[in-house]
Structure 1
Amino acid sequence: MSELFTALIIDDEPDICELLEMTLNRMGVQCTTANNVLSAKTLLERKAFNICLTDMRLPDGNGIDIVRFIQKHTPQLPVAVITAHGNMDTAVESLKAGAFDFLSKPIDLANLRTLVKNALASNQLTDDTAPKTQSRLLGESPAIKQLERSIVKLARSQAPVYITGESGSGKELVARSMHERGPRANSPFLAVNCGAIPRELMESEFFGHKKGSFTGAHQDKQGLFRAAEGGTLFLDEVADLPLDMQVKLLRAIQEKAVRAIGGSAEEPFNVRILSATHRNLEAEVAEGNFRQDLFYRLNVIQLNVPPLRDRKDDVALLTHHLLQKLAADMQLDTPKISPAALNELERYSFPGNVRELENILERAFTLCDTDTIESHDLQLKHDAILTENLPTSSIPVISHYERALEFPNIDDYLADIEKDIILGSLEKVRWNKTMAAKELGVTFRSLRYRMQKLGLEED
């Protein structure tokens, strides 16, 4: 490191201070030490530092006191807490208070050097070197502006973030934005849908395997944790993990190391964990479907993505952006949308959120006869149109009799309704047929048969 960095080390054990100081000096970091909370606060008020390392147990307080003091006075300063081995409760508490990361005793020097490099990179994000990526989130609504501010703040931390929100609301987009605005921006971002991995392949997908470790293992496989080294691993639909895999994932996160199937030793990894699900994970814990200790470890910081119906002011902006994107993909001119059609979109509840808006516009763009999308091109589900601001006389009512007359026969009309229901369920669960069958209350075989009959799946 050519630039001179400074660190504040807070510990009342001379041996630990010496170990930390020697390691950081070799990295080109100049160190100042303090042996209690009072002297540390005095130094923090008088001098600027690039990183702070503090022991949890101090003679006149603890590391959480230091974290909270820094959060109040110099929140841009990354602070890492050193905890006793295996004391994950304390580590999680420090992260919730605003710590950048944590180290466990006995201190692993490789982990220490990695932490310091990440912290220094994070500290520099306050300068002109911060990533200048354009926001992936479109919108001017208060809900989106608040979400943007949270993303910018959380991007600099290494704390696990649990992203909540309905299907199609943009949870992966939020995770990518957090990655791209943080110190790991130039390293991999890997997203995995936990519900889409076959159970028998799950351990291999996450942790990797050695050649010959099981039938079909013809060569070494790296695994997601190792493939995302230095970057971010996004666990989408984490609620779908089976309980036995939850145990293994918890151990990997706590130890910051993984053992490949057939491997002889654990290998450390340097990855930030982000997770998400559209389900109520607290309810899953209460029902015994999700481990409470893993939930506690993933849910250090919770970030909620608002549904599209709570940001109706953004519908017009999103609509025009998505139409431009669709037109570019099809190499066609961007279509217009009539005021009446746009008004109907703004009154729609969007059960499938932004993903549903994109699907609606793609269908309308494909089917419209002119260069302007009209209300009838949208083919919206009228029972999902928001009617709270409309007079009773203008609330749309479905007449199944009148709708049926639009079809050659009643069987075709009922098939259209069935097709709409199945598509809605599949879109909600990202085309996971097993989950869709469960949600609809039918067997997997029955769903496959219905999809083939309706032309939704090849024979």
Structure 2
Amino acid sequence: MISGQPFRIIVVDDDKAMRLSLVELLEAAGWEVSALARAEKTQDLAADFMPDVILSDVRMPGMTGTELLASLDKSTSPPVVLISAHGDIPMAVNAMQSGAYSFVEKPYEPRRLLTILRHAAEQNRMQKTNERLQERLIQLSGLDRLLLGQTEAVRNLRTDIIDFATLDTPIMVQGETGTGKELVARALHDLGPDPAAPFLALNCAALSPDTFEVEMFGKHGESDGRLLAASGGTLFLDEICSAPLAVQAKLLRIIEDKQVLPIGGTEPVPVNLRFLSATNEDVDQAVSDGRLRQDLLFRLNTVVLNIPALRNRRDDVMLLAAHFLDEFASVYEIDRQALSNEDTAALLAHDWPGNVRELRNVCERRILLARRGGGSIAEALRTDQLDDVPETLREAVAAFERELIGKAIKAHKGRMDAAAEALGIGRRTLNEKIVKLGLNKDALL
């Protein structure tokens, strides 16, 4: 056993003498045993007993052992060992192909049976322990907040990030616009061996072949260049398919040689970079079109992480919307906005071509509309709803201060000392702002 706890097993066999014999053998070996004569009750018992392994006869009245195996959820159920007095090679092969951990013929050899069951239980416990540690690591790293969602695709993505974050290997992140490719890249860096190291993100579409070497390699005796400054950290190549071909050739050389030659220099300087890249395009099509070098692609896509589009994870839409609404309600200091049935219908009916980024923007617009006394998700989906929002930062700050001060004066029924204290400013400052913002105290009360 591992973890200091006895292994637990469910024994399923319709033969009473055989069932009792197996129970006696296992209890003598220190196992906690629960026995059944019928396979139909196994899943209900397993939910309470939480076995490390299930040992089941194959041929039984009602549900057979192979039918029991097929009925179990392979992702959550313990390993199943099948045992039969009528076993033959085809039956054993079929059992293993169906997902059985092992197959044992009756009469069984006690020591061999116990060894098989112990190995199955140990493997199951180690897997469960790893899953708990992984989930804990996800929570500690904040991935459960950064990459919100409970659909299988998002859970798998979080797991992949944890698994690959410590590997010094190129990773390509693929996903549509707005799915969060840079978020994933930053998570890979932050969970890596040295999160304090530089993270250099380059928009490949904005890179110029004429200025690339000066900017990235630097000038001998004058500047180090951005790549040398980021050495020891991560280079994130965003939208790699949009990089000019001349720049792609230079990037390929950096990846292969792990060094750069500053302008005016005679000796190459080594650089130590981890390469992450991202694209919202079909890379094979980009290669076919001549926009992406195939040799560069092969250097960058050692590992590929795919981010699902929001329309393919609709079960996460309501969770994400609630999170963003709460976030922006806090930012703009208004009450939490509950979703109406109409809001829910609008959220679920929309295809979200802009993915999570679009949903986040819609939720922010919904909160801004609520600050003005109305609004709905349907209205927030129309981008023309906020045409009268102040365009300059100064106007926006003034409007924000005007509303906050007005609310404080109302809340404290005109008691200016109390309003100033609630706002965290002095009484004199409050008076100055009232005059500057053109507020009418009497009109507010």
The alignment's TM-score, normalised by the length of structure 1, stands at: 0.50
Match of 2:154 in 1: 144
**What CA distance in whole angstroms lies between the structure 1 residues aligned with 2:164 and 2:141?**
15
1:252 aligns with 2:254: yes
Listed one character per residue, the Cα deviations across residues 126-145 of structure 1 (whole Å, up to 9, x for unaligned) are 9x999942112111111100
SS of the equivalent of 1:337 reads: coil
In the alignment, structure 1 residue 287 sits paired with structure 2 residue 289: yes
Question: Using the alignment, how far apart are the partners of 2:139 and 2:213 within structure 1?
Answer: 34
Corresponding position of 1:351: 353
- Per-residue CA deviation, residues 36-80 of structure 1 (Å, 9 max, x unaligned), is xxxxxxxxxxxxxxxxxxxxxxxxxxxxxxxxxxxxxxxxxxxxx
| Contact 2:173/2:307 (8 A) holds in 1 | yes
Instruction: Name which of 182, 190, 209 aligns with 1:180.
Output: 190
| SS state at 1:235 partner | strand
User: Structure 1's 204 and 318: CA in aligned 2 closer, same or farther, altered over 3 A?
Assistant: farther
Q: Deviations over 1:400-422 (max 9, x none)?
A: xxxxxxxxxxxxxxxx7xx9xxx
Is 2:207–2:243's contact at 8 Å kept on the other side of the alignment?
no
Match of 2:170 among 160, 164, 180: 160
Q: SS of the counterpart of 1:249?
A: helix
SS in 1 for 2:278: strand
Matches for 1:412-451 after TM superposition, within 5 Å: none
Residue 271 of structure 2 is aligned to residue 269 of structure 1: yes
**8 Å contact kept, 1:191–1:236:** yes
Q: Which residue of 1 aligns with 2:67?
A: none
Residue 261 of structure 1 and its aligned partner are, at CA, apart by 2.2
**Is the CA contact (8 Å cut-off) linking 2:185 and 2:276 kept in structure 1?**
yes
**Displacement after TM superposition at 1:189 (Å):** 1.8
What SS does the corresponding residue of 1:221 show, helix, strand or coil?
A: coil
1:84-140 alpha-carbon deviations (Å, 9 max, x no partner)? xxxxxxxxxxxxxxxxxxxxxxxxxxxxxxxxxxxxxxxxx99x9999421121111
The within-5 A match list for 1:20-419 is: 132-135=140-143, 136-210=146-220, 220-368=222-370, 373-380=375-382
Q: Is the 8 A contact 1:336 1:373 kept in 2?
A: no
Distance of 1:142 and 1:380 partners within structure 2: 31
Q: 1:326 to 1:295 in 2, by over 3 A?
A: same
Structure 1 residues 259 and 367 mapped into 2: Cα distance closer, same or farther (>3 Å)?
same
Corresponding residue for 2:40?
none
2:256 corresponds to which letter in structure 1?
Q
The whole-number CA distance in structure 1 between the counterparts of 2:332 and 2:206 is: 29
Q: Please, what is the CA RMSD of the aligned residues?
A: 2.8
The structure-2 alpha-carbon separation of the partners of 1:370 and 1:331, relative to structure 1 and needing over 3 Å to count, comes to closer
Task: Report the Cα distance in structure 2 between the residues aligned to 1:262 and 1:351, rounded to whole angstroms.
Answer: 47
Q: Is the 8 A contact 1:168 1:356 kept in 2?
A: yes
Q: Point out where structure 2 has 5 or more consecutive residues left out of the alignment.
A: 1-132, 388-445
Q: Is the 8 A contact 1:364 1:373 kept in 2?
A: yes
Gaps of 5+ in 1: 1-124, 212-219, 382-415, 420-459
Query: Please, which moves more after superposition, 257-266 or 201-210?
Result: 201-210
Specify whether residues 330 and 265 from structure 1 end up closer, same or farther in structure 2 by C-alpha distance, changes over 3 A only.
Answer: farther
* Larger Rg computed on CA atoms: 2
1:155 Cα deviation (Å)? Answer: 0.7
Letter in 2 for 1:325: E
Change (3 A) 1:131 1:234: farther
Give the drift of 1:228: 1.9
Residue 273 of structure 1, CA deviation: 0.4
Q: Which moved more, 1:270-279 or 1:195-204?
A: 195-204
Aligned residues: 251
* CA pair 369-329 structure 1, distance change in 2 beyond 3 A: closer
Contact 1:161 1:299 in 2 (8 A): yes
- Give 3-state SS (helix, strand or coil) of 1:200's partner: coil
User: Compared with structure 1, are the counterparts of its residues 210 and 323 closer, same or farther at alpha carbon in structure 2 (3 Å cutoff)?
Assistant: farther
Offset at 1:277?
0.9
Distance in 2 (CA, whole Å) between partners of 1:178 and 1:339 is 38
Contact 2:260 2:268 in 1 (8 A): yes
Q: Retained in 2: the 8 A contact 1:336–1:372?
A: no
The 8 Å contact of residues 190 and 228 in structure 1, kept in 2 or not, is answered as yes
